[in-house]
Chain A
Amino acid sequence: MKQYIGTVQEALDIVHIKEKAKEVRKLIIRMTYEAKSGHPGGSLSAADILTYLYFREMNVDPRNPDWADRDRFVLSKGHASPGLYAVLALKGFFPIDHLMTFRKLGSDLQGHVTRHVPGVDMTAGSLGQGLGNAIGMALAARLDGKSYRVFAMIGDGESNEGSIWEAALSANHWKLSNLIVFLDRNMIQLDGFTESILALGDLEEKFRYFGWATRTIDGHSMEEIAEVLDWAKYQNGPKMIIAKTVKGKGVSFMENNPDYHGKPPPDEKKFEQALKEIEEGF
């Protein structure tokens, strides 16, 4: 495997991007605590990848969210909305204060992502549909002769759905080189651990058999995210990146704990503890 050696500038960027990811995590905690509901676990596991994509990889313009040539992103595991909303706000798509209306009556920041929010490319929430949505966008780019890329993120629990595998077949069938997908392999779904509920086994191998270019990385390492995105540029066909992550990453009582799939910090003490641990890099 080719070793990617970044530049000094990139090394500096990486320090900066890690700080951004911290901010994203704190906002995830604030939003869900304020809403007294929502999904911190899968947002925290996805936070580094989301931050990296929007701050270093994707060609997007916060002043022109509907720009026709922008790169697309589909958050198929739409319950990780706090993560995406936080990244979009920090990127400047809408004011950061607005995040505190999350899940409240009248707000556009719905519990699950909707494309009515500036910067959100696709509505999601019923699992198993976003990968197909991303394929549609990738096909449209081809039809229109456009060079934008389509990124997506799916969950490992979400990959229980048959529709994920239907989409896996079609992305390969149409050889969609402009499609890059992250699979958030945090090993937990709603009722518990993925391998005890419906064993997924070796997902890298499964997608490789389905014809995808596949790699496994540490989904919390900005260096590895950078490296794999560089790798992706040189692969034909759709790319599946299995990102090994920790559900609830950054907050000790949430890490690897299925209870925090859909539950914010229960009280002020836990809330403060979560913010502190994220700040100090627990």
Chain B
Amino acid sequence: MVTGNLTWLPNLINSVERKSQREAYGNALEKLGVDRNVVVLDADLSTSTHTTIFQKKYPDRFFNMGISENNMMAVASGLANSGKNVFASSFAVFATGRSYDFVRQSVCYADSNVKIVATHAGLTVGEDGATHQIIEDMGLMTGLPNMKVLCPADAMETEEIIGYIYENRGPFYVRLSREKIPVVHKEKSFTFGKSELLRDGSDVTVIATGILVSAALIASDYLKSKGISVKVLNMATIKPIDREGILKAARETGRIVTAEEHSIYNGLGSRVSEVVAEGYPVTVYRLGVNDVFGESGKAWELMDAYGLNPLGIVKKVEEIMVARS
């Protein structure tokens, strides 16, 4: 682990092992394809989401809907309600934002067996800029009854989560990255609805999701060398949220910092705050995108510019230590 190097660019990001979540998704789909009930839809982004891996093997059960995300969700629902186990993919901005009402009515209210697996979430979309960088998707999807929301920390967890949602009926939303992201897991460890303890600590808990889990680990190791003991939880299930795990952390460390590549509104930070406010009030500081749109730039450069890196977490931890000591 690199210590003392707390920004992604350029040395840190190139010195850690990274893997692609979307490739992991495509490969997982290919394996699940042996089940003839599995049907995959995409909306003219299959070469980017990697649903092409499934398409090549099972062309009959792959439907490229063209650039019509709304219709894709409606059709997905029709297939699901005729007995199919449906995976529908696009970029996160279009799968959730563009087709929101279709997801609301046809997928969630109808309680359809549709798995929305979206790639290119957040700022790390990079050069395409704000139009494509959704930082509101977890909020949109969390607000929908029947919907379950997942945000894996790396490629291995992605594979596990795809396996889990395949086996479980009903609407799911899975949020993946465009970038190859740092490897967190050496072995399988995903449990639906449960946070994962990655580092134990007593001064403060950092609860992170997705791409920022690896950043939390780096921050934790750095802070340890500075005499601050940081517990790190990976929260891959955003809904249903792990109340027990959050309250336990609140009781044990008395302070919580959340970290996500998402708006500070309606994502992980909001959910954690709700849980502690109701169950065991402690101070929660949220690291995320502060109610602004993103912009064009290189993925990791943007993460640095918006403070979504190990340094950003370290700063939040230092702030919360001062505020509460």
Residues of chain A whose beta carbon lies under 8 Å from any beta carbon of chain B: 35, 37-38, 78, 103-107, 109-112, 114, 123-128, 157-158, 160-162, 189-191, 197-198
Say whether B132 contacts A197, CB under 8 Å.
no
B127 within 8 A of A: yes
Main secondary structure of the interface of B (DSSP, over half): helix
Say whether A191 contacts B127, CB under 8 Å.
no
Say whether B44 contacts A157, CB under 8 Å.
yes
Q: Pull 13 A–B residue pairs with CB atoms less than 8 Å apart, ordered by A.
A: A110-B129, A110-B295, A111-B129, A111-B131, A126-B93, A126-B98, A126-B131, A160-B67, A160-B68, A161-B68, A191-B44, A197-B44, A198-B64
Say whether A78 contacts B127, CB under 8 Å.
no
Say whether B67 contacts A158, CB under 8 Å.
yes
B41 within 8 A of A: no
Contact of B64 among A35, A107, A161, A197 (CB under 8 A): A197
Contact of A161 among B67, B131, B132 (CB under 8 A): B67
- Taking CB as reference atom, which chain A residue is nearest B133? A111
- Taking CB as reference atom, which chain A residue is nearest B55? A191
B258 within 8 A of A: no
Q: Which of B257-286 contact A (CB under 8 A)?
A: none
B297 within 8 A of A: yes
Inter-chain CA distance A112–B131, complex, in Å, is 7
Say whether B67 contacts A128, CB under 8 Å.
yes
Say whether B44 contacts A112, CB under 8 Å.
no
Say whether A112 contacts B128, CB under 8 Å.
yes
Q: Give the shortest distance, in Å, between A183 (CB) and chain B (any CB).
A: 14
* Contact A125 to B132, CB < 8 A, known contacts A161-B68, A191-B44, A191-B45: yes
- Taking CB as reference atom, which chain A residue is nearest B42? A191
* Besides A78-B131, A105-B295, A191-B44, 15 other A-B contacts (C-beta < 8 A): A35-B127, A103-B127, A104-B297, A105-B302, A107-B296, A109-B296, A110-B129, A111-B129, A112-B131, A125-B132, A126-B132, A160-B66, A161-B68, A189-B67, A191-B46
Say whether A191 contacts B131, CB under 8 Å.
no
Inter-chain CA distance A114–B295, complex, in Å, is 11
A162 neighbours in B (Cβ, 8 Å) = 68, 70-71
A198 neighbours in B (Cβ, 8 Å) = 44, 64-68
- Taking CB as reference atom, which chain A residue is nearest B98? A126
* Contact A111 to B127, CB < 8 A, known contacts A105-B296, A105-B301, A191-B46: yes
B298 within 8 A of A: yes
B228 within 8 A of A: no
A78 neighbours in B (Cβ, 8 Å) = 131
A125 neighbours in B (Cβ, 8 Å) = 128-129, 131-132
Contact of A157 among B65, B67, B130, B131 (CB under 8 A): B67
Inter-chain CA distance A38–B132, complex, in Å, is 13
Inter-chain CA distance A123–B130, complex, in Å, is 11
B47 within 8 A of A: yes
B305 within 8 A of A: yes
- Taking CB as reference atom, which chain B residue is nearest A79? B128
A127 neighbours in B (Cβ, 8 Å) = 67
Inter-chain CA distance A110–B127, complex, in Å, is 8
* Contact A190 to B295, CB < 8 A, known contacts A126-B93, A158-B67: no
Q: Which of B299-314 contact A (CB under 8 A)?
A: 301-302, 305
Residues of chain B whose beta carbon lies under 8 Å from any beta carbon of chain A: 42, 44-48, 64-68, 70-71, 93-94, 98, 126-132, 295-298, 301-302, 305
A191 neighbours in B (Cβ, 8 Å) = 42, 44-47, 64
* Contact A189 to B44, CB < 8 A, known contacts A128-B67, A197-B64: yes
- Taking CB as reference atom, which chain B residue is nearest A159? B67
Say whether B130 contacts A110, CB under 8 Å.
yes
**Residue among B65, B66, B67 with the highest chain A CB neighbour number at 10 A:** B67
Inter-chain CA distance A109–B44, complex, in Å, is 25
B94 neighbours in A (Cβ, 8 Å) = 126
A160 neighbours in B (Cβ, 8 Å) = 44, 66-68
B126 neighbours in A (Cβ, 8 Å) = 37
Question: Which 7 residue pairs of A and B lie closest in terms of their CB atoms, listed nearest first?
Answer: A198-B66, A125-B131, A105-B297, A160-B66, A111-B129, A160-B67, A110-B129
Inter-chain CA distance A125–B296, complex, in Å, is 13
Say whether A190 contacts B44, CB under 8 Å.
yes
- Taking CB as reference atom, which chain B residue is nearest A78? B131
**Residue among B45, B127, B297 with the highest chain A CB neighbour number at 10 A:** B127
B46 neighbours in A (Cβ, 8 Å) = 191
Q: Give the shortest distance, in Å, between A43 (CB) and chain B (any CB).
A: 14
Inter-chain CA distance A109–B98, complex, in Å, is 24
Say whether B45 contacts A190, CB under 8 Å.
yes
A158 neighbours in B (Cβ, 8 Å) = 67
Contact of B132 among A35, A111, A189 (CB under 8 A): A111
A114 neighbours in B (Cβ, 8 Å) = 129-130
B131 neighbours in A (Cβ, 8 Å) = 78, 110-112, 123-126
Q: Give the shortest distance, in Å, between B293 (CB) and chain A (any CB).
A: 10
* Contact A103 to B68, CB < 8 A, known contacts A189-B44, A191-B45, A191-B47: no
Inter-chain CA distance A114–B70, complex, in Å, is 24
Q: Give the shortest distance, in Å, between B13 (CB) and chain A (any CB).
A: 15
Say whether B47 contacts A190, CB under 8 Å.
yes
Q: Give the shortest distance, in Å, between B227 (CB) and chain A (any CB).
A: 35
A106 neighbours in B (Cβ, 8 Å) = 295, 297
A104 neighbours in B (Cβ, 8 Å) = 296-297
Inter-chain CA distance A126–B130, complex, in Å, is 10
- Taking CB as reference atom, which chain B residue is nearest A194? B66
Q: Give the shortest distance, in Å, between B54 (CB) and chain A (any CB).
A: 14
Inter-chain CA distance A206–B295, complex, in Å, is 37
Inter-chain CA distance A69–B302, complex, in Å, is 38
